[in-house]
Amino acid sequence: MVVSRTEIMADRISEFHDSILCHILSFLPTKHAATTSILSKRWKSLWLSVLTLDFDCESFKAMASFDYSVHKFMLLRNIGLPILSFRFNCTHCFCVCNKSDVTLFVSYLTNRGIENLNIKNNIIVPPSILSCKTLKVLKLIGAIVNGFSHQVDFPVLKILHLKEMRFERHELLVKLLSGCATLEELQTKYLCVSYKDSFVSEKEFDGLLPSLIKAKISFDNSIIPVSLVRNVENLCMKQVSLTYCTKLSMFHNLTPLTYCTKLPMFHNVTHVEFKILGNMWDWLPQMLERCHKLQSLIIQGVEYQDELKDKSWEDPPIVPKCLSSQLRTCCLAYCKGTKNELQFVKYILQNSKVLKTMKIKYDYCGDIQAKHQMTTELSSFGKGSTMCEPAKILIETKRKYCLYLTEFNV
């Protein structure tokens, strides 16, 4: 069958139903979705029916045009249509978009069935958000929490991300989390409290977030206690800045992870991503001991360890329970080939009875000779226990623009 050139050039996409076209446009920023109005009469007002709005000041040359466009897009929409997802990104220092306008937009959204709200702006969190019955995903960056005029209630909220936020008092964070009974995923980073003397005890967080499954917590700040995430299944604990963490320890009553004396038991966790910039080798044995169901472990931050000042890795006198029956994969990222790294890897290989894969990622800037020596020793290393299954070692080395992979069994 011969296909004519006319058939090849036909506009097949316009044959789709409006609902399908709107779904396609929902993946575009609202500014780009609006440009499709020039395609034909069919497309002229189609973009106004999209249930997702995405505004980003970075896509506008002038801040005045950004402010005008946001207002215009909101006014042109059919007031009866729901808005399921709204993303607003504007932290530019020359932004002319009035904070009261942003608050007004948010209040408008809460009456339109909003499910996914993503705001990057230093607004004061409006009360209308805190009692939104339809929100399933809430992501706030740069927002300020000064107080609540009524009780926080998120009956269907599943995902909460808080980043670079300031709470006037510590108890406001507790109240915010207390209204998230169905929350399954929590991410926090760079949170702070205005009044240092307002810090509450760790016990105030007990019983919060009973449905939490996944957590990604940055412990550079001390306003989130480790015990809050002790019942999750998937845990990412990171310390991003050692300097920032040190400064906070001087002023806060709650202490960051580096200054804690003991970790809680993590009864349900099966996957852990762990990054500590100081004394990691002192914390790792405690982490292994308190995660009895741990199956997957990713370790970052070894490139920041000071071999002279920080504590060295010491083999635990009693093999952690997770190594005896659970741990299947382990990854040590950004290795330099140090003695501590080699000793840790050997301990894991020798005592993990069901380990399938040990992955080592070498740091690009590390000593080539040290990394080569570590690889040589591991290639000839045998497991100490005959009960242990053969494990595969994957070694990843980056050199300039090339990635080299080495694989062998032990």
pLDDT tens-digit map of 103-139:
777 888 888 899 999 999 888 888 888 889 999 999 9
Of residues 70 and 221, more confidently modeled:
70
Task: Give the phi and the psi of residue 34 in degrees, each rounded to 5.
Answer: -65, -30
pLDDT score of 258 more than 90: no
What is the reported pLDDT for 68? 72
Question: Mean per-residue pLDDT for 11-29?
Answer: 86
Instruction: Express each pLDDT in 323-355 by its tens digit.
Output: 999 999 999 888 888 888 889 999 999 999 999
252, 196 in Cβ contact below 8 A?
yes
What is the reported pLDDT for 201? 87
Q: State which amino acid sits at residue 61.
A: K
Question: Mean per-residue pLDDT for 361-368?
Answer: 78
Q: State which amino acid sits at residue 166.
A: R
Of residues 260 and 291, more confidently modeled:
291
pTM > 0.95: no
**Four-residue CA torsion sign, 249, 255, 258, 260:** positive
What is the reported pLDDT for 98? 57
Percentage, residues of the chain above pLDDT 90 = 36
Task: Give the phi and the psi of residue 188 in degrees, each rounded to 5.
Answer: -135, 145
Instruction: Express each pLDDT in 382-392 by its tens digit.
Output: 655 444 556 77
Q: State which amino acid sits at residue 214.
A: K
Distance CA 110, CA 210 (A): 25
> For the chain, how many residues are written?
410
- The DSSP bridge pattern shows strands 85-89 and 159-163 to be unpaired
Instruction: Express each pLDDT in 166-200 by its tens digit.
Output: 999 999 999 999 999 999 999 999 888 988 777 88
Distances (CA, A) of 219 to 25, 188, 212, 332, 382: 38, 9, 18, 20, 37
If we measure between CA atoms, which residue out of 216, 212, 211, 157 comes closest to residue 191?
216
User: How high is the mean pLDDT of the chain?
Assistant: 82
Instruction: Express each pLDDT in 193-244 by its tens digit.
Output: 988 777 888 899 999 999 999 999 987 666 888 889 999 999 998 875 544 4
226, 257 in Cβ contact below 8 A?
yes
Of residues 396 and 82, more confidently modeled:
82
